[in-house]
């Protein structure tokens, strides 16, 4: 079974003359799974079409933002309306506060926020604020968590850094990361030890409350509560990085799902409705330390961009108005998909385990529980690559890395789930 990819192939070759690896973000090059990365022509609902006319059922959804699928009519209409009025002004527009009001209502821990253009900017700025507010230098992150590509946060990171098996990034002087402590996820004693060793020196703990960037890895029961208690006890700020989980695992994010009140939250992906938006926010007291009210500088030409705000408002309004139906339905559908694929693997004798939180999930090619980076790393990535190629050949688009989460949208149907499980049965049978 193989698709025709002639046009994709020649366009990829052209792209390689312009971009490193032919891509503008490394994981898109499919290097970890092998095979040709198709060039996408369009998307509609749960499907994407490549330039050669092949259709794919999409479980990546632009790496999370597209909760309503591709070209959701509400989002398309809102962007078109905003577009007709002007694409960017470098001055404030009313839509910024409209989107902020929706965020603040959904996230009670956020009184004030700042819009930026990416998750990377959001986490980098939140950390700057945390250091300023505490007058401390050290930060704690967790192995396998990814918080964007700023220097201090690439240490033992997930996502592409994990996918390519590199410890961090070249070009980051060791002096720039000497205040970054990378600890194992889901491990309370390791955090206690760090607090004892760096007493009164840790500005913040930044964490993906449900990790998406080493594949989906949920917090063990009580873990986030322990992190919250320890940070509070030590005068350290807790930053929940909800770029992936915000408006995804629940309307109010992981902090609503697990009942955790962080000091700062970072958001992105879903809040931009598929356009580039990030945000960081927290109490008014903390956020008022940001320029021009306070001494912490952060700025952006396209921050609060009117098209992105319009897309975000349409997305959050639609999700908010239908949240009682959307989130439970996605959870049930995802559970059915996850169980169906596990069953298919079992029948074929392929070792596979899975993690799922709401509409975020990962199947790991392993026969042990995956709860941190040390348990994620030994998964059979070669087998994952063969599985990925087999599924793609059958029109199923999965994340091109063992260490990325897959997602569902409201555009996916029960028939899509059945079709995906049937495709997986064929692929698992061919893996022997």
The distance of closest approach from Cβ of residue 135 to ligand HOZ in the complex, given in angstroms and rounded to an integer, is 31
DSSP string for residues in 369-423: ---SHHHHTTS-HHHHHHHHHHHHHTTEE--SSTTS-EE--TT--HHHHHHHHHH
Q: Could you confirm whether 241 is annotated as catalytic?
A: yes
- Among 141, 258, 269, 327, the active-site one is 269
- How is the beta sheet containing 353-357 ordered, strand by strand? 353-357, 360-364, 406-407
Closest separation in Å from C-beta 237 to ligand HOZ: 23
Which residue, 25 or 42, is less far from ligand HOZ as judged by CB? Answer: 25
| Tokens 């599924």 -> residue | 391
Question: What pairs with residue 273 in β-bridges?
Answer: 275
Size of the site for ligand HOZ (CB under 6 A): 8
Using the rule CB under 6 A, is 213 a contact of ligand HOZ? yes
Q: In this complex, which beta carbon is closest to ligand HOZ, that of residue 241 or of residue 372?
A: 241
Q: Check binding of 63 to ligand HOZ (CB under 6 A).
A: yes
Single residue of 45, 69, 160, 218 touching ligand HOZ by CB under 6 A:
160
- Burial class of residue 82 in the structure, from the number of CB atoms within 10 Å of its CB (0-12 exposed, 13-18 middle, 19+ buried): buried
The yes-or-no answer on residue 98 being catalytic is no
| Shortest reach from residue 317's CB to ligand HOZ, in Å | 25
Instruction: Check residue 92 for interaction with ligand HOZ (CB under 6 A).
Output: no
The answer to whether residue 146 is catalytic is yes
What is the residue-wise DSSP string for 56-104? Answer: EEESSGGGTT-TT-BT-HHHHHHHHHHHTT-S--SS--HHHHHHHHHHH
| CB of residue 160 to ligand HOZ, shortest distance in Å | 5
Does 270 interact with ligand HOZ (rule: CB under 6 A)? Answer: no
Per-residue HEC secondary structure of 306-375 comes to: HHHHHHHHHHHHHHHHCHHHHHHHHHHHHHHHHHHHHHHHHHHCCCCEEEEECCEEEEECCCCCCCCHHH
Name which position in 3, 5, 27, 270 contacts ligand HOZ (CB under 6 A): 27
Indicate which single residue of 404, 406, 408, 416 sits in contact with ligand HOZ (rule: CB under 6 A): 404
**Binding characters for ligand HOZ, 361-400, by CB under 6 A (x = yes):** ----------------------------------------
| Cα maximum dimension of the chain | 63
Q: What tokens were used for 193?
A: 């030890």
**Quick one: which of 56, 146, 384, 387 contacts ligand HOZ (CB under 6 A)?**
146
- Which residues are the active-site residues? 146, 241, 269
Binding site for ligand HOZ (CB under 6 A): 25, 27, 63, 146, 159-160, 213, 404
């Amino acid at each position: 079974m193989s698709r025709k990819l002639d046009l994709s192939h020649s366009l990829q070759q052209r792209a390689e003359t312009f971009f490193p690896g032919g891509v503008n973000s490394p994981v898109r090059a499919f290097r970890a799974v092998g095979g040709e990365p198709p060039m996408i022509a369009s998307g509609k609902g749960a499907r994407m079409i490549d330039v050669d006319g092949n259709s794919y059922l999409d479980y990546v959804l632009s790496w999370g933002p597209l909760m309503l699928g591709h070209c959701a009519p509400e989002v398309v209409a809102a962007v078109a309306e905003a577009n007709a009025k002007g694409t960017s002004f470098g001055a404030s527009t009313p839509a910024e506060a409209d989107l902020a009001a929706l965020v603040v209502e959904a996230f009670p821990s956020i009184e004030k926020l700042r819009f930026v253009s990416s998750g990377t900017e959001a986490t980098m700025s939140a950390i700057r604020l945390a250091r300023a507010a505490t007058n401390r230098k050290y930060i704690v992150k967790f192995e396998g968590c990814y918080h964007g590509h700023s220097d201090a946060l690439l240490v033992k990171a997930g996502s592409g850094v994990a996918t390519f098996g590199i410890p961090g990034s070249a070009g980051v002087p060791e002096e720039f990361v000497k205040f970054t402590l990378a600890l194992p996820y889901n491990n309370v004693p390791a955090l206690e030890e760090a607090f004892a060793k760096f007493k009164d020196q840790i500005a913040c703990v930044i964490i993906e409350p449900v990790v998406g960037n080493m594949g989906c890895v949920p917090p063990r029961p009580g873990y986030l509560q322990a992190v919250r208690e320890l940070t509070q006890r030590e005068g350290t700020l807790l930053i929940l990085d909800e770029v992936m989980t915000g408006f995804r695992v629940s309307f109010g994010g992981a902090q609503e799902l697990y009942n955790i009140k962080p000091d700062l939250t970072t958001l992105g992906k879903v809040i931009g409705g598929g356009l580039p938006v990030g945000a960081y926010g927290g109490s008014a007291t903390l956020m008022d330390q940001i320029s021009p009210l306070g001494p912490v500088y952060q700025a952006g030409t396209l921050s609060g961009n009117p098209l992105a705000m319009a897309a975000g408002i349409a997305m959050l309004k639609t999700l908010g108005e239908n949240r009682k139906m959307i989130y439970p339905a996605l959870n049930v559908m995802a559970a059915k998909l996850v169980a169906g694929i596990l069953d298919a693997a079992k029948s074929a004798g392929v070792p596979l385990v899975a993690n799922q939180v709401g509409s975020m999930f990962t199947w790991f090619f392993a026969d042990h529980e995956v709860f941190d980076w040390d348990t994620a790393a030994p998964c059979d990535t070669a087998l994952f690559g063969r599985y990925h190629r087999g599924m793609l050949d059958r029109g199923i688009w999965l994340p091109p890395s063992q260490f990325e989460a897959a997602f569902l949208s409201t555009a996916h149907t029960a028939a899509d789930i059945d079709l995906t499980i049937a495709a997986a049965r064929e692929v698992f049978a061919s893996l022997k």
